Structure 1
Amino acid sequence: MTLPFRSCSPFVLFSALILAGCGKEKKEDPSTPPNPAVVLKAHSVTPPLVKALPGFENLEILPLVSSDDKLDQSPSFVFGPQPDGAAILKNPSGDGYVLLTNHEIIRSVSRIYLDKTFKPVKGEYVVDAEGGLWRLCSGTLATPAEHGFGPLFLTAGESDSEGRVHAIDPLGVADKKNGNRTLPALGKASFENALPLPKDSYPNQTVILLTEDEGNGQVTMYVSNSVGDLQNGKLYTLRRTNQDPAEKNMQAGQQYEVEFVEIVNAKTATGAQIAAQQLEKNAIQFARVEDIDYRKGNAANGRELYFAVTGSFDPQRVQWGRIYRLVLDPASPLKGSLSFVAEGYSNPGKSLVNPDNICVTENYVYIQEDGDAPISTPDHDGRIWQYSISTKQLKPMLEMNHRRSEGDFQKKYNPIGHQGISTWEYGAMHDISDLIGVPNTFLVNLQPHTWRDTRFVNADGSAITKDVNIYDNAIGNMGEGGQIVIVRGVPK
């Protein structure tokens, strides 16, 4: 999610037409079929803006694309600011790949075509600020192989209580000003993500988890008894079975029984009316629910979800953030148990700082920080942490590389002269290993908020992003640069 310096969240990918997962040490997954056509290397003129931390020195970081790059087949295309949620799939019209990226602050979605070697060659916008309507944060690619329907890019509208979820054809015509591709049956809220569960987790049903990035944010669930039906299902909200709505009343090491209760008339209700029902039904009030993802590996794992709560300045709310584990009942998605597996407030500023995006593999949860608006000053720049599901160990893996002592670097990547710690944040992290045939390989979106340039203004071509002064505190971040890097050697 994005404030003066913020953004939101992640997403999921799968094989052939899909993606999944995340990882750790340099141990390659032998189950990934090799693809000799793919040649992973640095394609961007921008150096990697992130670095590996001790214990993860074997990671290989390669810059894929940035706002400074000119793509051969579309030299006027500008990769816009705040790359957040994303999706990637094989190009059915060729032998390459198609990459969609949310650009949160300019409410847009870019589409980049990569050739068979994984080199970006062409870019365009399929949604601009006029069609996006709200800030677009995390996103999820639904596919027939993984979810039983699609391909369809579900991208969530944040920044307004009346926000909705867009359903974008990743391969369709670039109808970028079309704001009529939303899904009212999924409700209205300041959404962070809309995550469909794997088709085998609940056969013959469509189950979608939605998260709300508000100070009293909710977790909701859309359920239809028809696969791929996004119009006629019911919407439910998460609460404890004892109906205690206070997040701070849940303690470490404890497990709480939860249920999803129906929101009536959700398809036609306003966001305010839905929020009123949630209060009436004693839904859990989370301190800004951000990204959500499910564990990979099998149908049962698909019912094990992890979501990030960023935290709040409000002393009555959780501060510094938490990572929750939600396990759904095999017989019904409307029942389950809730606990939290990591938090930042017991060691404030030194452990997790405002977790935002999240990426879950079979064995690990990868947690991306959004620490540019913390409770107080942290002791490190933005990190990606690795949480081991089996050992429960939490380790810092990557960190933003600000290079503050290098004058020329600062002149280019920090022209506004912001001297704060943790002023950059992460967007989506996603596993592309099976898709491209290279084991333990991920894409990571980076949002270097202090990197601004007039050349990046109006990247989407809309009237809304046209008149921007990069030094303006209110709208200057519409002129930010962004980057996507390839990270190899990440354990899954």
Structure 2
Amino acid sequence: MKIERSIGALFLFAALAQSCKDDVETTETPVNNEVKIENFSKEPAFVYGMPGFENLNITTLISSSDVLSQSPNFVFAGQPDGMGIMKDPNSNGYLMITNHEITQSVSRVYLDKTFKPVKGEYILNGIGGMTRLCSATLATQKEHGFDAFLTAGESGEESMVHALNPLAPVSQASDKTRVKPALGKASMENAVPLPKDISGGKTYIMIGEDQSYSTSHQSAGQLLMYVSNTQGDLDNGKLYSLKRTNNNYTETDMVKGSQYDVEFVEISNAKNLTGAQINQKNMDLNAIRFSRVEDVDYRKGAGKGREIYFTATGESSDGVNPKPGLTMWGRVYKLVLNENNMLAGKLEVVAEGDSNPGNNLINPDNLCVTENYVYIQEDGDSYYSAANHDSYIWQLNIGTKQYKPWLNMKHNRNDAAWQTAYNQSGNLTKLGSWEFGAMIDISDIIGVPNTFAVNIHSHTWQKDAFKNADGAGVNTNKEGGQIVIIRNVQK
């Protein structure tokens, strides 16, 4: 069976949406009795449930220190961020495709039928990756109408989106040609295709620009959308940016509790423009200047994919004061596209940290949206002086718009043995020392209800053995990372 043949006929995904229940379920019997949800890593879980969520079942899937039986020299690199999990078409197991932000690489880990990691390799290394790779989306024929692992570059305004075949041979790891200029050039966080049941045979891809405001980059960050009239076409579509219909581009002129009319306007000839030229186009078009648009996700469930959520992580001029017109502590936005015109819609703020600095949201980054909830994952690297808690994942109830802390990092600052094991850099004393990567629903893929994977950037856990994990020789970072599996997650 040739690995390079079309993967459309090979993907064996179950539907990514299932009926939701508002109550945490603790007694469900796994549908797939071969899958074992247990601690496969030798490291303890780096997270724990917050008050009210004590019956989350948390186990470790993989950590950077683990040795996999079929590839003993493989190192699971640090900063695991965007990811996707699928059935392995060549076995009765699974494949896990993961971005490693700091090493600019993408790993492929093989899991057996029990969901135990047994082998690892890199399908994109730091040479082919070229830029830091943050969030990512595994597009599937079943959900989106085409197959690709879309991973966005985030190292300045000339970065691009890679479209990888998850089954690509490792011989292509250094290949730099798998980028898609038609999706634009920007410091991008994620490229998220909308589901095919609302796309009408077209391709819609939402892209977040994780860009701060500066005198050399006055357009700050945009919410972009790529549109092609052909499903799965990543080369011949048009690129648009989001603006208010009244031409007001100032982020903080929008407040929680109100809705705003917005539209996507075309960035003409984007495929052939530089990132700097695209930035100037955005200013000319009065595109909304968000403070670092990071992750984007859409509401799950039949016909609900036009309801889109995205973060503005926030930025400060000095760690104490905001920049004029921009959120400092961060926001989560809800965008609902018109059913008959997906280039227009309503925008509102559904969560924000500026009204209660340091106690509410602190720099929201990644998002995971289910049918009834938005899971908001904080980015712990701000070190704002008024920050009063570590990086949380918050659970936002879509119906009530109320949100509360759901998951926290296990820093164990008063545990000497923990500090020796996981604080080689000495920075673990700071609040928000670690941050979250992707959170994805894997329930229907593995046949175990209400089950999610969560990635962790354990920045202070550093060992020489973690250096050059992808073998490209272009990065000396020695951070470790971890992926945990969480059961009993409300959907």
Smaller-chain TM-score bracket: over 0.9
Hey, what does 1:473 align to over in structure 2? none
Hey, what does 2:271 align to over in structure 1? 267
Secondary structure of residue in 2 paired with 1:284 = coil
Hey, what does 1:484 align to over in structure 2? 483
Aligned residue type for 2:488: G
CA contact (8 A) 2:243 2:263 kept: yes
Return the offset for 1:171.
1.2
Q: Write the distance in 1 (CA, Å) between the matches of 2:385 and 2:192.
A: 32
Hey, what does 1:129 align to over in structure 2? 126
CA contact (8 A) 1:17 1:143 kept: no
Return the offset for 1:33.
7.8
CA contact (8 A) 1:35 1:438 kept: yes
CA displacement, residues 338-372 of structure 1 (integer Å, 9 cap, x when unaligned): 00100011111111110000000000000000122
**Residue segments in structure 1 that go unaligned for 5+ positions in a row:** 1-13, 469-477
Change in Cα spacing, 1:16 to 1:402, as seen in structure 2 (3 Å) is same
Aligned residue type for 1:302: G
Q: Write the distance in 2 (CA, Å) between the matches of 1:259 and 1:354.
A: 26
Identity across matched positions, percent: 55
CA contact (8 A) 2:12 2:89 kept: no
Aligned residue type for 1:256: Y
CA contact (8 A) 1:15 1:434 kept: no
Hey, what does 2:417 align to over in structure 1? 408
Aligned residue type for 1:305: I
CA contact (8 A) 2:26 2:55 kept: no
Q: How many residue pairs end up in the alignment?
A: 465
Change in Cα spacing, 1:161 to 1:20, as seen in structure 2 (3 Å) is farther
Change in Cα spacing, 1:28 to 1:141, as seen in structure 2 (3 Å) is farther
**Residue segments in structure 2 that go unaligned for 5+ positions in a row:** 1-10, 213-219, 318-322
Hey, what does 2:316 align to over in structure 1? 313
Return the offset for 1:379.
1.5
Tell me the TM-score normalized by structure 2: 0.92
Hey, what does 1:5 align to over in structure 2? none
Q: Write the distance in 2 (CA, Å) between the matches of 1:448 and 1:158.
A: 20
Aligned residue type for 1:218: Q
CA contact (8 A) 2:383 2:431 kept: no
Q: Write the distance in 1 (CA, Å) between the matches of 2:21 and 2:465.
A: 36
Hey, what does 1:242 align to over in structure 2? 246
Q: Write the distance in 1 (CA, Å) between the matches of 2:426 and 2:350.
A: 37
Does 2:41 correspond to 1:38? Answer: no
Q: Write the distance in 1 (CA, Å) between the matches of 2:272 and 2:142.
A: 31
CA displacement, residues 74-99 of structure 1 (integer Å, 9 cap, x when unaligned): 00000001000001100010111000
- Bigger shift: 312-321 or 348-357? 312-321
Secondary structure of residue in 2 paired with 1:481 = strand
Does 2:169 correspond to 1:173? Answer: yes
Return the offset for 1:27.
2.0
Q: Aligned ranges for residues 58-457 of structure 1 at < 5 Å?
A: 58-150=55-147, 152-174=148-170, 175-215=172-212, 216-299=220-303, 301-314=304-317, 315-316=323-324, 317-418=326-427, 419-457=429-467
Q: Write the distance in 2 (CA, Å) between the matches of 1:350 and 1:390.
A: 23
Does 2:59 correspond to 1:53? Answer: no
CA contact (8 A) 2:436 2:456 kept: yes
CA displacement, residues 269-306 of structure 1 (integer Å, 9 cap, x when unaligned): 0000011000000000000000000000112x100000
Q: Write the distance in 1 (CA, Å) between the matches of 2:111 and 2:163.
A: 23
Q: Which has the higher contact order (CA 8 A, sep 6+)?
A: 1
Alignment counterpart, residue 24 of structure 2, candidates 15, 23, 26: 26
CA contact (8 A) 1:354 1:374 kept: no
CA contact (8 A) 1:23 1:440 kept: no
